[in-house]
Structure formats: structure tokens, C-alpha cells
Structure 1
Amino acid sequence: MLPDLIYDPAQSGAPSASGWYRSDFAAMNAHPRLPLLLRRERYERAASTGDHLHLNFYALYLVRGGQGIHVIDGRPYGIVRGDAYLVAPGSVHSYRDYEHLELDALYFQLSLFSEAEIEALRALRGFWRLFAARDDTSNVEHRLHLPPETYRWAESAVEDLRDEYEATQLAAPLLLRANVFRLLVFLARFHERSARGTPRKSPTPAMLTAESVVSRARRVCEERFAERITVAQLAAQAFVSPAHFCELWAREVGMPPAAYLRQLRLEHARHLLATTTLEVAEIGRQCGFSSAAAFARAFGAAYSLSPRAFRVSRR
């Protein structure tokens, strides 16, 4: 049987210390031979599910019925039957003010696809438009609403996926993987066709350049430097493998991602030390350091001063 979900707020467990629930793909009841989990999810009625972090996997959602608000990385989206969209790894999301909300969810890791398939998806302009909460400054509509006849095709495609997911024949995983790729290509092409003739700015192949991949990752670091950010999460923002991302980053930036992130944290810490009266330990916490000791070590290594000595020197 497929691991479908009927959400019960009373049995949702406790959030992590960061305030949200964390989902690691390794701990999910995925397909035995593929990095893929298909699940039909039902949310009956409540004000909020609480925040939920997708640590290391993508999510494709197709809304089957009901209504609600899907908040993704702080941005609210009203959702109804026929909506289809992607959520990248590292995203924090929740459902709010929902009523009889039902979705088909496809959770997968990048390793589901070959390098050729990944490049084919990245080359589709409509594919980038499927990602929710990518970049509100680009004036791009980041969700796809399928008209009834098109949604019926997608709904049938999902039912085929569910059948192959449970099948035991040797051919089933091959068909399942191919059909997930086909569904993503179909949605991306439909999104691109539906966007033609509109004044909205459309993503272009320039998004595939090293400069754009790295600039997007740098923006994520600058906006979320206080969080735990991994290379895999940064690579996921551009739908590339971690190894390829590291090659692009090294060429463009000249220092490892971890060093760049540490530099951002220390620069922000310097600003807070010089302009606020916050406790040193609190500044370290707000800047993403795991402990006051870790903050002091990193600060001393970078500036040859302790945080307290730096604060005194600026008064």
C-alpha cells in the first residue's frame, strides 16, 4: 500500500529547536529502488500545520481538491484544485486555514534522473516557473493552474504513477522513473505555452549560466546566513548536482561556500557588536553560530580579537 497521509495535528510530534519539523529523505518511507516517494495527503480543517522543513528533497504538488493557504519560505499562496508547483530542498512550508485540502505529493531527490534528463529539464523555460517562492522580484508567476481538461490528464498520469509504484515487475521502476520525468516535462511545457503572449518576464537560458547559478546561491546565503545551509541545498536552488555546483562556485567566487557563509556571518556579527547592546552569545546565535565558543573561535581567527575586545575597541 502507498504511504498516504491523513494529517492529524494532535499526532504531529514536536518541532525541532529551530521551531519547525524536519523531514530527511533518508527517514521517509520511499520507494525501495528509487529516491522517490508518492503520497496522497489530506488535511481536513485547521488554522495551521506548523512549519515543516524539507531538508534534502524536491516536492511536486498537484492539488486535488479543497482549499487552503500554502506558505512557502514565508510567502503565502492560496491553493485550489488544479494547482501544480514545485518546492525546492531547504524550503520551510506550512498549510494554513485549510479545509478538506487534498494533494498528490511526489517527493524526490535529484539522483532520480540522469545528467541528460537534468539538463533537459533545466533547459525548459517553463520548468523554472513551476518553483514556488523562487524570486518574487522577477515578476514571474511561479505556480501553474491547470484547466479542467488538462488537470484530468495530469490526474490520470498520477494514477499511473501510483500503479507503477506498487507494481512488483522488474520493469516497474523503469516506467515509474520515466513517467515522473514525462510529467515534469509536460507541466513545464504547458507552463511555457500558457505564459506566451503575457507581459510577465519569462526565465531564459541565461538562467543556466554559471554566473546565474552562483548569484542565486549567493542570494540565498545573504538572505538566510543565520540558518544551517548545505552545499546540497544551494545546488538544489539551481537544479544541479552538488559536484557541478562546487565547480561553478569555485570558478566564480574563489572561496568555498562554507567560507563565504562564515564571512557573511562574521560581517553581520561585527555590525551588531558595534551598533547594539545585545549579549555576545545572542549575537553569535543570531548570526548562525552553534555556540558562543564557536562564535568566539571564528571571530578571533578572522580578526585577531575576541568579540568582546572588538566591541570595546569600537566605543
Structure 2
Amino acid sequence: MSQVLRFEAHAFGRPYHAARVRIPARSRDTELHTHADFHEFMGVVSGSGEHLLTTGVEQLRPGDVVLVRPSDRHAVRGSTPDGLEFVNVAFPSSIWQGFLDLTRTVTWSSRGPITFHQPAAIAVFEQALTRFQDNPSSYDLVRFWIDLMELLAPVDTAAPGVPDWLARACTAMRAEQNLRGGVPRLLELAGVSPAHLSRSMRTSYGVTPTAFVTDLRLEHAASLLAATNTSIAAIATRCGFTSQSYFTRTFTAAHDLPPRDFRRRSQRAFVP
């Protein structure tokens, strides 16, 4: 079972949370966990380590930047001889999605956390940490995102590798009313044939349209479970699942625990 971490219990009304984390070599792994209602960027400062994922293990080195989403399960381990040091910046998923919609930035890729290597980005993390220690504002969070996206843009935004029509369609699918429409709605937004959409999704993001929509639905469902008292049946309907039982099976497979338990555990305090 993975722990479910919640943003607000630790952030205390601040727009984001930042921390410097040091994991000694040969120490115990951090606990395998998911995020109930927030995204997180990790910037590796020094040392080396491993990112433990349900899909395998990724090596971490200085200059790596990792985006972790609510649907991802992960833990971190320090390697010999120096362990691992990183700065993490966590922020509510709802605000992040608004930023993505406004800027038409695509940071969604294949299943699992998304890793970039951009050493220059570590200075952006250090700046966000410094601002966090002095009563940060929402502007400080937006500045962190903008500064980071400018560095990650060659591999992280819609141009030049992702067609504009696909970027627009994928961004629009974050809206709840479009999620309910599923792949047929994605096709309408894209304005292309099913075969062309499938080829383009695989080329640009490495997944099928169905997997893309399912992950967005699960991410939205996790946020609703953590932040509202809406019934599970209503959440299933709002996210576009055909039945509560199908939603429960799909959610349990993704999170290793059913929606009801996820909601209960999401009340635990956020741990950076």
C-alpha cells in the first residue's frame, strides 16, 4: 500500500511548498507514496540516487528535474558515496492546470513521473526555495513555473515536436466537461481521423488516446476525492467513467487502493 499525501495540511495557506531534502547513502527509502491533490517538481542538486517507480527504477544525477503528478507512485533512495540532495517544490494541481491552460504548455507524457536533464534549472529551484522562506506570494509560484518552463521548453512544450492542433486538444481535455466525453470528445477537439490521432499521440507522447484520457480522468478523480465530499458514484460520473464499479477497478489498479481508502488516507499531512 502506498501513502497518500495532501498539500494543504502542510502548506497552511501558502501558494506552494519548497524544501531542501537530503537522503544519506544506505538510508531507508522514502515511503512509497502518491499525491492526493498536488504536483511536485524535484531538482537534483548534488550526489546521486534512484527514483523508485512502479514501472522500474530511474537513476538520478545532478541537474535532473522530475515532474511528479497525483497519479504517480514513487519513492527516492540515496546512493553511495554521498547520498542525494534535491529541492522539491509542490503546488496545488488545480492551480497548475490553470497555468497549463493559460500558457498552452504540455507537460504530460508517458505513464510515470517525467524526467528532464537541465542543470541550469537548479538555480530556479534555489530561487523558489529562498522566496518560500520569506512569505511567498502566488506571483512567486508563477515566476518559478515561467522560469522553469523557459529552460525545459525544448522538450516540454507544444513546439516544435507536437502539432498545434494536438496541443490544443490535449489542453482542452483537462476541462471536466470534455473528460466526460472521453476519446470521442478528444477526436472532436482534434478535428482529425481516429487513425491520425492515434499515430500522433504515440509519436508525440508515447501513449494511446485511451491511455491519455484515462490518466487525466484518474488525476481529476484523485483531486476530487481529496478535496471534496462528493460521493464516489458522482465522481465516477463527473470524470466520465461508465460505472462506479469500473471506476473503482481502474482507480484501484492505478493507486493500489480503492477510492474510499484513498480519500481517507489523503487526510494525512503532506510530507515534503
TM class by shorter chain equals 0.5 to 0.7
- Aligned pair in 2 of structure 1 residues 290, 165: CA closer, same or farther (>3 Å)? closer
SS of equivalent to 1:63 = strand
Match of 1:231 among 207, 221, 239: 221
Between 1 and 2, higher relative CO (CA 8 Å, sep ≥ 6) is seen in 2
Match of 2:245, as an amino acid?
R
User: Does structure 1 residue 119 correspond to structure 2 residue 101?
Assistant: yes
Alpha-carbon contact 1:56-1:90 (below 8 Å) kept: no
Alpha-carbon contact 1:35-1:112 (below 8 Å) kept: no
Alpha-carbon contact 1:63-1:83 (below 8 Å) kept: yes
Per-residue CA deviations over 1:182-221 (Å, capped at 9, x if unaligned) read: 134224413248x968xxxxx7444334445793476459
Give 2:268's aligned residue: none
Give 2:112's aligned residue: 133
- Aligned pair in 2 of structure 1 residues 113, 287: CA closer, same or farther (>3 Å)? closer
Give 2:117's aligned residue: 145
User: Does structure 1 residue 95 correspond to structure 2 residue 62?
Assistant: no
**Equivalenced residues, count:** 215
User: Does structure 1 residue 106 correspond to structure 2 residue 89?
Assistant: yes
Partner Cα distance (1:27, 1:178) in 2: 21
| Aligned-pair CA distance for 1:110 | 2.5
Unaligned runs of 5+ in 2: 187-208, 231-235, 251-255, 262-272
User: Does structure 1 residue 158 correspond to structure 2 residue 125?
Assistant: yes
Match of 1:71, as an amino acid?
L
- Aligned pair in 2 of structure 1 residues 205, 71: CA closer, same or farther (>3 Å)? farther
Match of 1:57 among 38, 45, 57: 38
| Aligned-pair CA distance for 1:233 | 4.3
User: Does structure 1 residue 68 correspond to structure 2 residue 43?
Assistant: no
How big is the alpha-carbon RMSD for the aligned residues of Structure 1 and Structure 2? 4.6
Give 2:245's aligned residue: 262
Alpha-carbon contact 1:124-1:188 (below 8 Å) kept: no
Unaligned runs of 5+ in 1: 1-17, 135-141, 198-202, 237-242, 244-248, 268-285, 292-315
- Aligned pair in 2 of structure 1 residues 235, 145: CA closer, same or farther (>3 Å)? farther
Write out aligned runs for 1:282-297 (5 A): 288=258
| Aligned-pair CA distance for 1:88 | 0.5
- Aligned pair in 2 of structure 1 residues 82, 196: CA closer, same or farther (>3 Å)? farther
Give 1:281's aligned residue: none
Partner Cα distance (2:64, 2:18) in 1: 17
Instruction: Give the greater-gyration-radius structure (CA).
Output: 1
SS of equivalent to 1:108 = strand
Match of 2:134 among 148, 167, 187: 167
SS of equivalent to 1:156 = helix
| Aligned-pair CA distance for 1:25 | 1.6
Give 2:8's aligned residue: 26
Alpha-carbon contact 1:70-1:78 (below 8 Å) kept: yes
| Aligned-pair CA distance for 1:38 | 0.3
- Aligned pair in 2 of structure 1 residues 43, 71: CA closer, same or farther (>3 Å)? same
Write out aligned runs for 1:176-191 (5 A): 176-191=140-155
Match of 2:60 among 79, 101, 107: 79
Alpha-carbon contact 1:48-1:98 (below 8 Å) kept: no
Per-residue CA deviations over 1:99-127 (Å, capped at 9, x if unaligned) read: 41011101110344583x23034x224x2
Give 1:43's aligned residue: 23
| Aligned-pair CA distance for 1:71 | 1.7
- Aligned pair in 2 of structure 1 residues 235, 220: CA closer, same or farther (>3 Å)? farther
Write out aligned runs for 1:295-306 (5 A): none
| Aligned-pair CA distance for 1:56 | 2.0
Partner Cα distance (1:56, 1:39) in 2: 18
Match of 1:190, as an amino acid?
P
